[in-house]
Amino acid sequence: MANCSGKMLGLFCVLTLVAGCSDSEPAAPTGGEVDERSYTKIDDMEGTTGVIGWAPPHGSPGFWYSFADQQCEKLRPTPSFLEGSEDWSYAEVPEPYETLAGVTSRQAARLRTVAPIVDSWGAGLRFHLSLPTGSGPPGPPYECTPESLTARDIEMNAMPVDLTMYTGISFWARTESNATGKKLTMGLHDRHTHAAGGICNPTPGTLDACYNAFQVTLPLTDEFEHYVLNFSELTQNPTWGYQEPSGTMDLSQIYEAIFDVNTPGGGCSGVCPGEPTLEFDIWIDDLYFVDR
């Protein structure tokens, strides 16, 4: 049984609950406490292409990609925008396990470092919710720099989707126990924080820079646990980038989902004692929207 204490910001640990799923395969309660929520599947990670399973109302679904804006070569899988990168693949979970009632997971999205990332904010996994039909991923090659990746993001012409019919997001996640980065930041980019929204400043490092997502940070354990986040719990980091004055994410225009691992204690913006390093191995599985 999972220990549900210690979760933050309205996060519910629901390992012991039984869930219903609205993704054409409603899960029947199997006893114990009943989860009244119903879910819409985004991706169960059981495929091979990395293309998101959820079909957006317009355009084509996005695809998983790993991301950093420096030292990308230390990530596995390596970011698809790099020259010579390998195709995306999911990883087999250590042991198949049940996520929603009656649903067995055998694969998950996994991101890990093969060498310490030094003096950086971190790295992560991402996907856009809607891309122009038939466009496909741009590149490679792109350079592993903030400027190059912002240019790539704009060239992808991602489109916003309306998520107001959902109240939150649900997924399973774990970390390897020997990692230095054991916290996962889950977030969404809306029209305020994504470069394609035309509001924030796409130039990295500016006071109103893009990509300060609405987010929440979760401490992971070495066991897969079920995390259910209400969209209302996601907030921007107040210390950098464009700050939406209302403090509220525009759920009607969402561009991208992010799963980041940040360097513990934050990166070093100038001169710091010691050398900030980050090593991690995170797994994300069975991603769903929570229906309203």
Partner 1 sequence: MVALCESRTKAPTVARCCLVAVLAGGCFDVEQRDANLAIEPFLVDDFESGTGVPPDGRFERWQCFRFNPNTTDGLDCYFERRDEDDQALVMDFNVTDVEDGVQQFAGAGVSTSAGAATIDFSGYRQLVFSAILEGGAPALPAGTLFYVELACSSVPLENPNVGGDRLVNLGVGVSGATWSSYELSLTSFGQPAWHTNHLVGGAPACLRAVDSIALSVSPNLMDGMAAAGKLHLDDIFFE
For position 136 contacting partner 1 by CB under 8 A, the verdict is no
Q: Which of 87, 238, 245, 246 binds partner 1 (CB under 8 A)?
A: 238
Q: Is residue 132 at the binding interface for partner 1, with CB under 8 A as the rule?
A: no
Binding of partner 1 at residue 24 (CB under 8 A)?
no
**Which residue in the set 6, 31, 198, 274 belongs to the binding site for partner 1 (CB under 8 A)?**
274
Candidates 60-68, 135-143, 161-169, 271-279; binding stretch for partner 1 (CB under 8 A): 271-279
The count of residues interacting with partner 1 (CB under 8 A) is 17
- Of the residues 2, 29, 268, 291, which one makes contact with partner 1 according to CB under 8 A: 268
CB 178 within 8 A of CB 112: no
Residues 6+ positions from 171 with CB-CB distance below 8 Å? 186, 226, 227, 284, 285, 286, 287, 288
Contact 143, 204 (CB under 8 A): no
Binding-site member from 267, 279, 283, 285 for partner 1 (CB under 8 A): 267
Whichever of 114 and 272 has its CB closer to partner 1, that residue is: 272
Of 198 and 274, nearer to partner 1 (C-beta) is 274
Residue 271 binds partner 1 (CB under 8 A) = yes
Exactly one of 94, 135, 272, 292 binds partner 1 (CB under 8 A); that residue is 272
Q: Which residues, other chains included, contact 151 with Cβ-Cβ below 8 Å and sequence gap of 6+?
A: 142
CA angle, 197 then 62 then 163, to 5°: 60
Q: Are strands 34-43 and 18-21 parallel, antiparallel or unpaired?
A: parallel
Cα separation, 82 vs 140, whole angstroms: 5
Query: What's the CA dihedral at 260, 152, 53, 89 to 10 degrees?
Result: -70
Q: Which residues bind partner 1 (CB under 8 A)?
A: 235, 237-239, 264-276
